[in-house]
Every structure is written in C-alpha cells, then in structure tokens.
C-alpha cells in the first residue's frame, strides 16, 4: 500500500500495536498524511473489529489506509517478527497497559537500542505520577478531569457524545510525533513521546480552570453557566425545530438588530456593550426567543445565511452523510466490513490547496502479513516456517 509521493509523510514507516480508539487515531492521522502504517494484530484479529453498539464504528473509522499483520507476540517467532518490523520503522505506536510492551521486549528502550532513530509514541491513561498505574478509558478521564461535570446539568455528570478524549489524546500524540520527527532531522536521534487521556481532558477544561483563576468563582456546568454573551443559545422556531444563534460582539449585535429590524433595541444604550447585554440577559433573551419563534427554521436559515452572524441547525451524526458542504470534499469513501462502501469524515485539513482524501479500506485481519514480512527481510522459506509455527497468520 504505497501512498502518493506528494503526501507530506510519504516514505515514513509506522508500526502500530494498538486497539480501540486512542492509539488507532494516531495511526490513521499519520496514514491519511501519507505514512505507511502497519497494524500488528493478534492471531485472532483486533477485538475492536467485533464491538457492538456505540463501538461498532471504531474499527472502520480509525483503521483505514493501514496494512494488517497478524502476529502471536507470546510465541518467540511471532515476537521476533514484531522486533524485525520495529527495527526498520520510523515510528512505533502503542496504547497497551503500562509495562505490557516492556515485558515483551517491545518497549522504547529495547527497540531504540537497535533503532536509535526510532520515535516511539506511547498512548496512556495518565502521564507519570501517582495515577500512572491505573487503567483509564475515555469515560474515566472525562469523569476525573472535570469534562463530564461541565457537560451535564448540576449533579448529573455526563460524558461528551463522542470519544473526544481518545481522539484528542491521539491528536496530541501525533503532534508529539511530528515534533520528534523535526527534531530528528537536526539530531539524528529518536525519542519516546507520550500522551494521555487524563492530561488531555484537563487541557480541554483549562479554560474553566483559568476562569476560576481570573474571577475567583468556580465555573458552573454548561447547562447553567453564565454565558460570556447574552445571545448565545438554542432557539425554538415556529415549526417546532431549533436553531443555535450567537451574537458575540457589539458589531454583530448591531448587525443582528438591523437584520431583524430591531431599531429600538439597537438604539437602547442599556444594550450597547456586550457586558451590559449579559447583565440584562434575563430581560433581553425572552424578547429574542419570541422574535425568532416567529420564523420557520428554513426561513431563519435563509435570513442568517449571508449575514455573518454565527448560527447552526441542530445536526445529528447521520445528517452528515448528506450535508452538501461535507459532500464538497469533507467525506471519503470507505469500505465497510460487509463490503458496502460508505462515506466517512476525511482528515479535517487542507494542505497546499487540496484536501487529503486517501481512503484505502480498513484491512482484513492479516491481509498484508506475507507482503509486509517479505518486505521486512524474511525469505520465502523463513516466512513459511513462521506461518507454520503459528507465530504469524
């Protein structure tokens, strides 16, 4: 699976020992950017392939553009094959429990001794400290780190509606990897890069920590927060639908008043500045709710479309398949496990005026075992012995 030489990471080789979401996110971003990514799976295949319910989309979303090799890391021959793959890699990615890779001889120190230029990306629940021995999940981190508290109403912590910490933690891992690649250009040396779920969560709620530091008042959960703006809410429309509208500056307030012919409100000095409008929110907001409820959703969107005012219909994930803006380049065709082709989000980047639209199907378990191991230096005879031993499949 050769990437276009025009892609920014073409020629970079990645070996990935990952499962679930956080680790595979690192791999899929690097793969979309053009790296050759080999996913090492157990003989029975990555268990993430078989998740049901909310986990059913994990594998197809985060494992496109990769090659699959099945190895038994508990068998000496399979473990040796993994080490040979890592010896020629630019990057190794792993997200297993602390110490697991070291016990196998696949930790950073062991691999770097043979491959000093290796960049080793370790995705964990916690960075070093009193919690680093704990097992973490996206939801664990959201609960511990304050995000669930901020998302739900008081007394009802609620996780965000997507695996935001897994994905963001993976993205921070990619940032570290790319920084390490740049540093390797200058030093010739690799390094170990770590990112984590808990610290990622705390970084995301850092704005609320800073709010406490600035104001002396603890941030309230989002459903009952004091907004920074008076008009920054979801409004009901005449046809029973909803639309978010935000007025986040004094110039936008004047534009809003002009658009909706609110000359009296626009001229009222009590509402001239944002801080005044926030303090008068209980008076102002009911007027705006009544105003906007006089429009159907489609009418309101048409009115706001070219106004420069922030607005948004309330979309569902399934609506994104048919979104005309995403259909203009934000979705890529990906083959699902049943063979059908669907459209999933592309990497949300444009580089040199083009979208990164590489979209090879997620690999079948062990689809590339022979190809990858032969490229890693195995002879046909050695490969047949390895396969016959059960060390690879």
For residue 59, the SS3 value is helix
In this prediction, residue 5 has a pLDDT band, given cuts at 50, 70 and 90, of confident
Q: Note the pLDDT tens digit of each residue in 99-113.
A: 999 999 999 999 999
Q: Give strand ranges (E) for the chain.
A: 13-17, 36-41, 66-70, 91-94, 119-124, 191-196, 231-236, 242-247, 311-313, 331-335, 341-345, 350-351, 354-355
- DSSP per residue, 328-389: GTTEEEEE-TTS-EEEEEPPS-EETTEE----PPPPPTTTTHHHHHHHTT--HHHHHHHHHH
- Is pLDDT at 2 greater than 70 in this prediction? no
- Of 3.40.50.10490, 3.40.50.10540, 1.10.260.40, 3.40.50.620, the CATH number of 13-204+329-389 is 3.40.50.10540
Q: Which CATH number describes the domain made up of 227-316?
A: 3.30.1540.10
* Domain extents in the chain: 13-204+329-389, 227-316
**Tens-place pLDDT, residues 152-211:** 999 999 999 999 999 999 999 999 999 999 999 999 999 999 999 999 999 999 999 999
Average pLDDT over residues 287-293: 97
Question: Which pLDDT does position 1 carry in this prediction?
Answer: 59
Instruction: Find all residues with CB under 8 Å of 388, minimum gap 6, and list them.
Output: none
pLDDT tens digits for range 200-252: 999 999 999 999 999 999 999 999 988 899 999 999 999 999 999 999 999 99
Is the CB of residue 2 less than 8 Å from the CB of residue 9? no
pLDDT of residue 244: 97
Mean pLDDT over 342-355 rounds to 95
Is there a shared CATH topology between the 13-204+329-389 domain and the 227-316 domain?
no
């Amino acid at each position: 699976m050769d990437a276009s030489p025009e892609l920014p990471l073409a020629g970079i080789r990645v070996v990935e020992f990952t499962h679930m979401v956080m680790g595979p996110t690192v791999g899929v971003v690097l793969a979309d950017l053009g790296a050759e990514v080999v996913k090492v799976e157990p003989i029975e295949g990555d268990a993430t392939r078989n998740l049901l319910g909310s986990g059913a989309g994990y594998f197809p979303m985060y494992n496109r553009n990769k090659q699959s090799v099945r190895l038994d890391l508990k068998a000496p021959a399979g473990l040796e094959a993994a080490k040979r793959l890592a010896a020629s890699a630019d990057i190794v990615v792993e997200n297993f429990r602390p110490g697991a890779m070291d016990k196998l001889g696949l930790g950073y120190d062991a691999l770097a001794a043979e491959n000093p230029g290796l960049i080793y990306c370790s995705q964990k629940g916690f960075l070093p400290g009193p919690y680093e021995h704990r097992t973490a999940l996206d939801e664990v981190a959201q609960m511990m780190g304050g995000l669930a508290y901020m998302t739900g109403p008081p007394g009802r912590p609620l996780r965000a509606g997507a695996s935001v910490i897994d994905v963001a933690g993976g993205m921070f891992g990619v940032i570290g990897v790319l920084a390490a690649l740049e540093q390797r250009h200058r030093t010739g040396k690799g390094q170990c890069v770590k990112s984590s779920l808990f610290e990622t969560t705390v970084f995301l709620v850092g704005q609320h920590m800073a709010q406490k530091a600035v104001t002396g008042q603890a941030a309230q959960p989002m459903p009952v927060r004091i907004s920074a703006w008076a008009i920054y809410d979801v409004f009901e429309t005449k046809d029973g639908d909803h639309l978010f509208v935000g007025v986040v500056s004094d110039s936008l307030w004047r534009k809003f008043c002009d658009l909706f012919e609110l000359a009296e409100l626009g001229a009222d000095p009590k509402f001239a500045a944002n801080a005044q409008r926030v303090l008068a929110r209980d008076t102002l907001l009911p007027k705006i709710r009544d105003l906007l409820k006089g429009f159907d959703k489609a009418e309101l969107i048409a009115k706001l479309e070219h106004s420069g005012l922030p607005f948004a219909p309330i979309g569902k994930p399934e609506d994104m398949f048919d979104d005309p803006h995403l259909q203009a380049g934000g979705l890529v065709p990906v083959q699902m496990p049943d063979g059908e082709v669907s459209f999933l989000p592309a990497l949300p980047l444009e580089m040199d005026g083009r979208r990164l639209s590489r979209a090879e199907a997620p690999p079948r378990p062990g689809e590339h075992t022979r190809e990858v191991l032969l490229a890693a230096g195995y002879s046909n005879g050695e490969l047949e012995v390895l396969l016959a031993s059960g060390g690879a499949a």
